[in-house]
Amino acid sequence: MKKIFAANWKLFKSPQETRSFLNSFKKVFSQATGEVVFFPPAISIEAASECLKGSGIHFGAQNCHAQVQGAFTGENSAQVLKELGGTYLLIGHSERRQIFSENDSMIGEKVALAQNLGLIPMLCIGETLEERESIHTFRILETQLALGLSKADPSKPLVVAYEPVWAIGTGKVATPEQVSETHTDVYNILQRLGFTAPILYGGSVKPDNASNLLAQSHVGGFLVGGASLEVESFIKIAST
Ligand code: PGA
């Protein structure tokens, strides 16, 4: 199956910076060995939509509200994303869970909404360092998947991104053994719940660790933060 290389830009890149990055990226995109998806900040999504038209490069939003419209000051609509040509929706990133108090039930609603609109939910799961050290990783991932997918349709497209919280933005990447073992667990949990989905790894992915990580069992690609902000480092990862 085609690998997926997704760029989570978080709160970086203005519309102008988005255009300039994507115009440069389009020149090297043919080197990519899988599908490429950009998640710009919400205010730069329209710029991405214009730039990427007809390019074969996908984009999506980092978050959205569980309803498509209403009195929800400060939120963004998945329906508007769809209208702009977006294909993916990142849901339940650990920063959303930790900083913005998103819980598994809200996340489950968003996954269902994305699927109902014909968007592909990219559901993020992952354990904290404390949870890993107390050997609770399996149980945490099982709960996040069971609740996050409680309203999802197994017949519709889905992507899961496993991102150990302790590896995000820390430079502390999971070892290939940890990735292989945990991705196998995630694969088995998904099977038991009746889902099949590519499982991306995320957390300090860099050009120099990408090929080793991609070779591990059940690694369907990457969700990349810091190293996706420069064309050179991101295309190196996407051409692994
Ligand atoms: P990182 O971020 O690659 O900078 O660790 C990954 C993410 O937050 O998705």
Q: Please list, in sequence order, all residues whose beta carbon lies within 8 angstroms of the beta carbon of residue 140, skipping any fewer than 6 positions away.
A: 125, 127, 131
Whether 83 has a pLDDT exceeding 90, the answer reads yes
Residue 225: CB within 6 Å of ligand 1?
Answer: yes
- The rounded distance, in Å, linking the Cα atoms of 111 and 60 is 14
- The rounded distance, in Å, linking the Cα atoms of 29 and 32 is 6
Distances (CA, A) of 105 to 66, 136, 151: 11, 20, 10
Query: Which range has the worst mean pLDDT, 12-26, 169-183, 184-198?
Result: 169-183
Mean pLDDT value across residues 170-184: 94
Whether 188 has a pLDDT exceeding 90, the answer reads yes
Residue nearest to atom 1 of ligand 1 (CA): 225
Q: What is the pLDDT of residue 228?
A: 98
pLDDT in tens, 221-231: 999 999 999 99
Question: Per-residue confidence at 81, pLDDT binned at 50, 70, 90?
Answer: very high
Mean pLDDT value across residues 96-118: 97
Task: Determine the distance separating the centroid of ligand 1 and the alpha carbon of 135, expressed in angstroms.
Answer: 23
Q: What is the DSSP letter of 87?
A: -
Residues taking part in catalysis? 93, 163
Q: What does residue 123 show for φ and ψ, rounded to 5 degrees?
A: -85, 120
Residue 224: CB within 6 Å of ligand 1?
Answer: yes
Q: What is the pLDDT of residue 56?
A: 98
pTM summary value: 0.97
For tokens 């196998």, the residue is 184
Q: What is the dihedral of CA 35, 41, 43, 48, to 10 degrees?
A: -20
Mean pLDDT value across residues 94-104: 97
Looking at ligand 1, which atom is closest to the CA of residue 161? Answer: 9
- Beta bridge partners, 90, equal 122
Which residue in 186, 175, 173, 178 sits closest to 218, CA to CA? Answer: 186
Q: What is the pLDDT of residue 215?
A: 97
Return left, alpha or beta for 59; rule: phi > 0 is left, psi -120 to 50 is alpha, else beta. beta
Helix (H) or strand (E) holding 48: helix 45-52
Query: Beta-strand (E) ranges in 83-175?
Result: 88-91, 120-125, 159-162
Q: If you average pLDDT over every residue of the chain, what do you get?
A: 97
Whether 135 has a pLDDT exceeding 90, the answer reads no
Task: Determine the distance separating the centroid of ligand 1 and the alpha carbon of 19, expressed in angstroms.
Answer: 22
Q: What is the pLDDT of residue 51?
A: 98
Whether 3 has a pLDDT exceeding 90, the answer reads yes
Domain 4-238 has CATH 3.20.20.70: yes
Residue 226: CB within 6 Å of ligand 1?
Answer: yes
Half-sphere exposure of 202 toward its Cβ, with a 13 Å CA cutoff? 33
Residue 202: CB within 6 Å of ligand 1?
Answer: yes
The overall longest dimension of the chain from CA atoms, in Å, is 48
